[in-house]
Structures are given as structure tokens and as C-alpha cells.
Amino acid sequence: MPPKNAKPVQQPTKTAPQVNVANVAHAAIVAHASTAAPINLDEAQDAPTNRDILGAISLLKEDMNKHSADMLKAIKDIKGDIQSLTERTGETEARISQAEDDVISLQGRVKSLEKTVEVLSDRVAEQEDRSRRSNLRLVGLPEKSEGSDLCGFLEKWFRETLGEDFTSSRCVERAHRIGPLTSNPAAPRVV
């Protein structure tokens, strides 16, 4: 049993040795030569040479460079697209912010205009009420009894009917009959 205070011993990490493909191929040929079986000349000619292996590595390197260049171009295009979208998003956010500010401003203006409309509607209603306040409707006054001057006739008729002498020079400003003339004399129009 190890002592309690003993520090654990760190094992050195093993790194992968650098492999030279040419050395591996040469070692394979040497190992093959040291076996008990004789080497067939056809097999030795079919085995890849250092030049073949270096050519294959060179082709792989070119292919990797081509693919990495394609990937770098694609990444650059994506970065450009992202930059463009970032700019468009910023512009859109600015426009939305401006639109929100405009809406708030317009809402305040609408409220102000609604108050103005309410005040003006009240004034119009009051004016209509005042204009009708002094109006009189006379029902049953015989048709054509007024002659050609309805206002003069009504002033005279009010004095006679009510028995009052009005202080103003003119108590009736305007007078007219309402509705079309009918052929029935028993139903006179309203004055």
C-alpha cells in the first residue's frame, strides 16, 4: 500500500513520432528482404517507390490546398453576407425606431384633435339649441289668411291673440310655412 503523503508520479506523455513515408517504405522492403522467403522480382517492381509516394503526397497536398482555398472563399462570402445583413438590420432598426417615434407623436396629436372635435361638437350643439330656442310653430292657422306679408300678419296676430304690446319694433324676424301646399284646405300647413 502506498504511503498517504506520496505524490502521484506523472507519467511522461507520449507524442506521436514523426513518420517519414520514405523511411517506412524502405523499412518495409528491408523487413521483407530479411524474411526467409526469397523476393520475387515482380513483387519488388510492383512496390511503390519513394518517387511514387512523394507524388501521391504532392497530389494530396494540392487537393487539400484547393479544397481549403474553396472553403476560405466560401467563408469570405458568408462573412460578406453577414456584414450585409448586419447593415440592413441596423437600417431596419433605425427605421422602426423612427416609425415608433412618429406613432407616439401622432397619437398625441390625435388625442389633441379628438378633444378639439369634442369641444367644437359641443359648441355646434349649443348653437343649434340656441337657434331653435326662439322658434315657434303655429299649427292650425288657416291657409292664405296671412296675405302677402306673413311676418307683419304674425306680429299683428300675436298682439291681438296674446293681448300684449311688445316693446321691440319687430318681434318676428322671419316666418314661413313648412311643407308642400295641399289641395285639402282643412289641413293647413304649419307656420
Residues 6 or more apart whose Cβ sits within 8 Å of residue 166: 155, 158, 159
Report the predicted TM-score, pTM, of the whole model to 2 decimal places: 0.36
One DSSP character per residue, 61-93 reads HHHHHHHHHHHHHHHHHHHHHHHHHHHHHHHHH
- Helix 21-34 and helix 50-133: axis angle, to 10°? 140
Q: Which helix (H) or strand (E) holds 113?
A: helix 50-133
Q: What is the pLDDT along the chain (191 residues), one digit of tens a residue?
A: 455 555 555 554 444 445 454 554 555 555 555 554 555 556 656 788 899 899 999 999 999 999 999 999 999 999 999 999 999 999 999 999 999 999 999 999 999 999 999 999 999 988 887 777 677 778 777 777 788 888 888 888 878 887 777 666 667 777 777 777 777 766 777 76
What are residue 190's DSSP bridge partners? 178
pLDDT digits (tens, 9 = 90+) for 82-111: 999 999 999 999 999 999 999 999 999 999
Contact 191, 141 (CB under 8 A): yes
